[in-house]
Amino acid sequence: MNDPSSRRVAFVLKGYPRLSETFIAQEILALEQRGLDIEIISLRHPTDRTRHPIHDQIGAPVRYLPEYLRDDPRRVFAAWRRARRLPGYRAARRAWLADLLRDPTPNRGRRFGQALVLAAELSPRIEQLHAHFLHTPGSVTRYAAVMRDLPWSVSAHAKDIWTTPAWEKRGKLASARWAVTCTASGHAHLAGLAATPGRVGLAYHGLDLDRFAVAPVRPAGPDGSDPAHPVMILSVGRAVEKKGYDDLLHALSHLSPELAWRCVHIGGGALSGPLKRQATALGLGDRIEWRGTQPQPAVLEAYRQADLFVLAAKVGRDNDQDGLPNVLMEAQSQRLACISTTLPGVAELIEHGQSGWLVPPASPAELATAIATLAGNPALRARLAAAGEARIRQSFDMHDGIDRLAVMFGLPSQPTVAVLDAAE
């Protein structure tokens, strides 16, 4: 249980819990275990039909803001009446109006309305607000923090970095006490926009290796020559443009008819229906299994049953792109050979030809060649898989990033238990 006298921080999330954001859940749990007293504020109710076991281990209370102001107008109006008496209300309103002039959208109005509710209902024990994602959660957090005259900070990840206008990022970085991001490329970009670059930190979110124990020894895998023992290809990710599933399907359609393979996809998303129709049109319908969203234990088992992992990440038309995909770290932790693309965040994790295989994004033909190469060469897969696992366990343990975050939040850099044990 958290010490009532400890520092209390409100974490503002776009949605909670979300199956696709295990990296946020593992961070919250780890910081709780370091002594940070957290309250979770979610801008929307969960849409996933299940949850990961880690969500049940988190002790932080969760409060939901009205996703749309029309959902609870009385609550919003009551919040406005209270918030307008707060010391920073006028400053927050000026900041919002300046933003609204540059972004005259209904969503901008909704962010201010949610900020009113957050500021009006915020517990007096909250000493700091922290947003996960620089875009919508960052806006709500910034306006509310100004109203309450509280410091705020932000963790930036991927879409929020690459799709938010530069003017907005500059304003938020100037307002926040500190910001942190999880890739070197994202860090360089944000530091270049910040008036004080030193206030932007880098902390890889890494992987909780206690949850991804060493996988059992894999037998020699198939080489795609026996239809009775096809190469099992796995991909885990949301069915959205930046994940490149249309490219993966085209790549699979380019494979030789003589290569025996099957593919499993885990994840939900708006493009699930169109992708299934695309697979059918390409003649792949009977070779792909669409499992939808799955809890983490089922995903872990899928990693261990697969022979090859593929994530065809690319830059979307709205400039959205992945940072450092958690699923690649998870797959590599289970000694699974990975194929992905040369996006900057991915290239920080996978060393081409050493700990995995990289191809240019949005290149189905080159992706097909890579899949065929690794599918037909179990020895190469085993070498890449072993090197990938070693790199994850040596360089991407989440505790390094948690140590850095702990210091930013004013906590000891090491868990209290470890300090006591050392003293004994």
Q: Is 27 helix (H, G, I), strand (E, B) or coil?
A: helix
Strands (E), 185-256: 200-202, 231-236
Question: What is the structure's pLDDT at 4?
Answer: 40
Q: Which DSSP category does 197 fall into? A: G
Question: What is the structure's pLDDT at 213?
Answer: 86
Question: What is the structure's pLDDT at 310?
Answer: 98
Question: What is the structure's pLDDT at 287?
Answer: 96
Give CATH 3.40.50.2000 domain extents, the chain. Answer: 8-206+397-423, 231-395
Per-residue pLDDT tens listing for the chain (424 residues): 344 445 699 999 999 998 888 889 999 999 999 999 999 999 999 888 888 889 999 999 999 999 999 999 999 999 999 999 999 999 999 999 999 999 999 999 999 999 999 999 999 999 999 999 999 999 999 999 999 999 999 999 988 999 999 999 999 999 999 999 999 999 999 999 999 999 999 998 888 888 888 888 888 899 999 999 999 999 999 999 999 999 999 999 999 999 999 999 999 999 999 999 999 999 999 999 999 999 989 999 999 999 999 999 999 999 999 988 999 999 999 999 999 999 999 999 999 999 999 999 999 999 999 999 999 999 999 999 999 999 999 999 998 899 999 999 998 766 544 333 333 2
C-alpha separations of 122 from 104, 130, 180, 342 in Å? 27, 13, 24, 43
Question: Of the CATH numbers 3.90.25.10, 3.40.50.2300, 1.10.4160.10, 3.40.50.2000, which one belongs to the domain with range 231-395?
Answer: 3.40.50.2000
The side-by-side arrangement of strands in the sheet containing 261-266 is: 288-292, 261-266, 231-236, 308-310, 338-341, 357-359
Structure tokens at 286: 């009977």
What Rg, from alpha-carbon coordinates, does the chain have?
23
**CA-CA distance, 424 to 420, in Å (whole number)?**
6
**CA-CA distance, 71 to 139, in Å (whole number)?**
20
Name the amino acid, one letter, at 403: D
Name the amino acid, one letter, at 126: I
Question: What is the structure's pLDDT at 217?
Answer: 82
**CA-CA distance, 161 to 320, in Å (whole number)?**
8
Q: β-strands 8-13, 200-202: how paired? A: unpaired
- The answer to whether the beta carbons of residues 35 and 416 sit under 8 Å apart is yes
Domain 8-206+397-423 belongs to what architecture? 3-Layer(aba) Sandwich (3.40)
Question: What is the structure's pLDDT at 415?
Answer: 59
What's the CA angle centered on 363, arms 361 and 368, to 5 degrees?
115
The side-by-side arrangement of strands in the sheet containing 128-132 is: 62-64, 37-42, 8-13, 128-132, 152-156, 178-181, 200-202
